[in-house]
Amino acid sequence: MKKLKQKFYKLLETYSYEVSEANYPYSERANEYPEHHPFENAPASILDDENFMLECFELDYAECFKFCSYRLRNKKDFVMLALKYAYPEYTDIGENLKNDFDILKKLKVKDFSKFGYKHLNDKQKIIEMIKESNSKDFFNHHWLPQTVKNDKNFFLKIIDKSYNSEKCLRWADDSLKKDFKFLDRCISQNPKTIKYISRNIQKFDKLVLKAIKKEGELLRYTGQKFLNNKQFILIASKSYGEIYKYIKKSLRNDYDILLRCILQDPQMLRLADKKIKKNKKIILRLIKKDFTSFKYIDKKLKLDYDILKSVILNLKFGSGDEYKSAAPYLSKLGNRNLIKLAIKKDGFWLDKLSEKYKKDKEIALLAVKNYYGHFSDISENLKKDNDVLEAATKCFLKGYTNFKTKKKEKNDINDLDRHHFIHKDLYWYIYYKVNPHKKNNKTVCVDGVRIRADGVFDHYDKVYFYGEMFNGRPHGKGYATNEESEWGDAAFPSTYEGEWLNGVPHGKGVFKSFAANNYPPNGKVDEVYTGKFINGFKKEN
């Protein structure tokens, strides 16, 4: 018996591994699933062994539960243990347990037809099942007995602020769906209930009014009659300016509606008429609330000093794209004081300004004093300017304030993991300032030294170098690999072997890109480039 269990356990290990490989997109066996589960033909004796089957559940996430003996699938404590590993199909549960409340609850069964007569007539248990559910998408609600469908208190207990609880109203008897006081209480508890209330009931407008006062977006689900009603639109727009998208064009031109909607949601300016887009007073109010509305305003206003100043003062940094729409107009206006204000406020403006300002030393100095990372945005000539290099270095060396601890911390140029993104010219300038002993004009041979990733290697790679170094940089001949980098779903190693100059591949060399999860030297190679490299990159023909 012991050998038999060992045999099938190993078969299950192999099966689980094959499934794992098939699920993994970078595997050579991706999507090649095994044809059969090894327990399909397993002896009945091991399929009835409780401890053995529980061990197996850990291997295949209880997929093998369906092969368990009739006895085990009808044993409650065993099934409850199985449910710790995964959720077997309801159909695989033993017949004696299919109406067991604990099993139903653990399986999160949402089909009322599976509850059984006893549980369907126990309101408290139904409520418990519903409350346990993350969403209320139960079906076959016609199985609910009339005593439940008619019970106001039952529905008032389950219609609350939880996700999708408003859907529960669909299960109620028609008499409740016409009961204004009951529906009014439902909306008090969850205004989204309005979506499931018939528009033909008396005083429906009062229910709509109550719902949209709480959540303006709900006006969308109440019918065209209310979407054409100015009073209702104005109420909804207090919390949901986007309602402007869903009303007819004639109402969009109503000044009261327009003003209320765009002030609540400035993005609605894109749908407004040209007169509003030219109204400087309104535009200034909108930009103060949401600077991104700038892209929808009249072109002439985009060159207005006050408007651009308002954008600068109200802009909030995010991904960097927020500078795209205003920066060209700031460049075109050419007001130097305004540009200096922008750079002082946030140096990220420089990246989107015209080349003229990237070549401007005064502007460049303001930017790198703001943050040393802006060194990447200035012109190539200024990257060699000693004053600019010194200003950026000073900014780097003064450190930063840790947002969590609120304490001042130092930047360490020798920490490649943290400072791999710094432009290489600035990096080496700071490096030699901090490590003057490295600039000794000597060539040394090294074996597996971590170097800065540049050129053909990504900045976040962990690159190790074997070969000649001069003044602390790869220089001469050498080999580098990023195989020890931290990867995500799969590893994609690459190597370079050849000539180096000042820390980067330069001259003749060979760059290899390996297939997913294949490593040098003998792993499968996807791509090889043999030829010339210039300043770290392949010289393509």
DSSP annotation of 511:
E
Distance of alpha carbon 266 from alpha carbon 269, whole angstroms: 6
Which residue type occupies 386?
N
pLDDT for the residue 316: 79
Which position has the token pair 């943290």?
Answer: 418
Q: What angle do CA 110, 113, 116 make, to 5 degrees?
A: 105
What is the rounded distance in angstroms from the CA atom of residue 491 to the CA atom of residue 21?
15
Q: How many helices (H) and strands (E) does the chain have?
A: 28, 9
Q: What is the pLDDT of residue 541?
A: 62
- Render 352-400 in DSSP notation, one character per residue: HS-HHHHT-HHHHHHHHHH-GGGGGGS-TTGGG-HHHHHHHHHHHHT-E
At residue 137, the pLDDT reads 86
pLDDT of residue 280: 96
- Tokens linked to 364: 């460049």
Helices (H), 253-385: 255-264, 274-277, 280-289, 305-314, 327-333, 336-345, 349-352, 355-358, 361-370
Largest CA distance in the chain: 93
pLDDT of 319: 52
Pairing between strand 443-451 and 504-514? Answer: unpaired
E strands, 107-152, are none
Q: One digit per residue, pLDDT tens: the chain, 541 residues?
A: 788 999 999 999 999 999 999 999 888 888 999 999 999 989 999 999 999 999 999 888 889 999 999 999 999 999 999 988 887 788 999 999 999 999 999 888 999 999 999 999 999 999 999 988 888 889 999 999 999 999 999 999 999 999 999 999 999 999 999 999 999 999 999 999 999 999 999 999 999 999 999 999 999 999 999 999 999 999 999 999 999 999 998 999 999 999 999 999 999 999 999 999 999 999 999 999 999 899 999 999 999 999 999 999 998 765 567 788 999 999 999 999 999 999 999 899 999 999 999 999 999 999 999 999 999 999 999 999 999 999 999 999 999 888 888 889 999 999 999 998 899 999 999 999 999 999 999 999 999 999 999 999 998 899 999 999 999 999 999 999 999 998 888 899 999 999 999 999 999 999 999 999 999 999 999 999 999 999 999 987 6
Interhelix angle 424-434/386-397, nearest 10 degrees: 70
- Taking the C-alpha atoms of residue 248 and residue 394, their distance in angstroms, rounded to an integer, is 58
Q: What's the rounded Cα separation, in Å, for the pair 341 and 273?
A: 32
Nearest to 108 by CA among 79, 82, 129, 128: 129
- Cα distances from 269 to residues 118, 212, 230, 281, 313, in angstroms, run 58, 22, 19, 14, 20
Boundaries of every domain in the chain: 1-100, 359-436, 440-538
Which residues touch 497 (CB under 8 Å, ≥6 apart)? 478, 479, 480, 509, 510
The DSSP H or E segment spanning 521 is: none
Tokens of 100: 């067991």
pTM: 0.79
Whole-angstrom Cα distance, residue 530 to residue 115? Answer: 69
Helix, strand, or coil here: 435?
coil
Taking the CB of residue 135, how many other CB atoms lie within 10 A of it?
12
| Cβ neighbours around 309 below 10 Å, total | 18
**pLDDT of the residue at 318:** 59
Q: Judge residue 417's burial from the number of C-beta atoms within 10 Å of its C-beta, 0-12 exposed, 13-18 middle, 19 or more buried.
A: exposed
Find out whether 323 and 348 touch, Cβ atoms under 8 Å: yes
What pLDDT does 275 receive? 92
* C-alpha distances in Å from residue 502, one per residue of 79, 419, 476, 518, 539: 66, 18, 9, 30, 17
Contacts with 291 (C-beta within 8 Å, 6 or more apart), sequence order: 310, 311, 314, 315, 316, 322, 326
pLDDT given for residue 489 in this prediction: 82
